[in-house]
């Protein structure tokens, strides 16, 4: 079976369409979430810097400290969420598409 046939069979497979839709959509969605978190942080820096500078619970530690650390942690967590779903669900779908194309 030549490459063109494989490509045609993969494209005709509804599972491939499902994979493309899910993976691409999920990737763009998480990208937008990351950018929203980051630019949200920037907006707070601009609109309400004193809010970030306010005391967290009466002490020296300010609200900005957990917020800033939160942005760092969110980047890590978002990559974790993507990897979890991609290495599970998406890879299973990919595997099925590949096997069906080679039958």
Partner 1 sequence: MNRRIPQILGALALVGLSAAAFAAGAVEGEVQKAKATNWSAIIMFFAFVGFTLGITYWAARRTQSASDFYTAGGGISGFQNGLAIAGDYMSAASFLGISAMVFDKGYDGLIYSIGFLVGWPVILFLVAERLRNLGKFTFADVASYRLAQTPVRILAATGTLVVVALYLIAQMVGAGKLIQLLFGLDYAVAVILVGVLMVMYVMFGGMLATTWVQIIKAVILLSGASFMALMVLVSVGFSPEAMFAKAVENHPKATAIMAPGGLVSNPIDAISLGLALMFGTAGLPHILMRFFTVGNAKEARKSVFYATGFIGYFYILTFIIGFGAIFLVGTNPSFLDDAGKIVGGNNMVAVHLAKAVGGDLFLGFISAVAFATILAVVAGLALSGASAVSHDLYASVIKKGKANEKDEMRVSKMTTLVLGVLSIVLGIAFEKQNIAFMVGLAFSIAASANFPVLFLSMFWKGLTTRGAVIGGFIGLTSAVVLIVFGPTVWVEVLGHEKGSELFPYKNPALFSMTLAFFSTWLFSVTDSSRQAQEEKGRFDAQFVRSMTGIGAAGASKH
Q: Which positions lie near partner 1, rule CB under 8 A?
A: 3-4, 6-7, 10-11, 16, 19-20, 23, 26-28, 30-31, 34-35, 37-38, 41-43, 45-47, 49-50, 52-53, 59-62, 64-65, 68-69, 71-73, 75-76, 78-80, 82-83, 86-87, 91, 94, 97-98, 101
Q: How far is the CB of 14 from partner 1 (least distance, A)?
A: 14
Closest distance to partner 1 from the beta carbon of 45 (Å): 4
Secondary structure (DSSP) of 49-70: HHHHHSBSSSSS-BTHHHHHHH
User: Minimum distance from CB of 8 to partner 1 (Å)?
Assistant: 9
Q: What is the largest CA-CA distance in the chain?
A: 72
Q: Which residues pair with 62 in a beta bridge?
A: 55
Helix (H, G, I), strand (E, B) or coil at 24: helix
CA distance 67 to 15: 41
Beta bridge partners of 55: 62
């Amino acid at each position: 079976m030549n490459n063109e046939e494989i490509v045609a069979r993969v494209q005709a497979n509804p599972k491939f369409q499902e994979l493309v839709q899910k993976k691409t959509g999920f990737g763009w969605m998480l990208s937008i979430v990351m950018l929203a978190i980051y630019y949200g942080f920037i907006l707070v820096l601009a609109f309400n810097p004193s809010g970030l500078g306010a005391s967290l619970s009466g002490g020296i530690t300010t609200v900005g400290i957990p917020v800033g650390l939160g942005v760092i942690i969110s980047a890590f967590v978002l990559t974790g969420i993507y990897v979890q779903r991609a290495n599970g669900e998406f890879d299973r779908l990919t595997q099925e598409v590949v096997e069906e194309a080679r039958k």
